[in-house]
Amino acid sequence: MKVLVITEGGRVVGTQPVEPASAGAPAVARLRPGPRQTATMVDVIASDDLSTARKIEEFHRLVARALRPAQKAKAKKKKKR
């Protein structure tokens, strides 16, 4: 599942699953980063069931693990300058 993750200062402040818009949809809503926030697209293998606290915590760990490589790549780019 592709997930759009909004972060601010290294902390996740929002997530949204990314699905293609259907042809008959009257409107589509997407999260957008605000000032000092960044949007990152990550691929997470997660269940669609987030009905318990344990499953939500597992989802949060998966998102954090998926973000780590992207954060390390950004840090390396900054050091090269």
**What are the tens digits of pLDDT across the range 57-72?**
888 888 888 888 655 6
Residue 40 backbone phi and psi in degrees, to 5:
-135, 135
Q: Are the C-beta atoms of residues 22 and 54 closer than 8 Å to each other? A: no
Q: Where are the domains of the chain?
A: 2-19+30-80
Other beta carbons within 10 angstroms of residue 78's beta carbon come to 8
Entry pTM: 0.70
Q: How many residues does the chain have?
A: 81
Reported confidence tier of residue 26, pLDDT bands at 50, 70, 90:
confident
For tokens 């090269």, what's the residue? 80
Could you tell me the CA-to-CA distances from 15 to 9, 47, 67, 75, 78 in Å, in that order?
15, 15, 12, 22, 25
Split at pLDDT 50, 70, 90, the class of 78 is: low
Q: Residue 40 has what pLDDT?
A: 92
Residue 51 reports pLDDT greater than 60 = yes
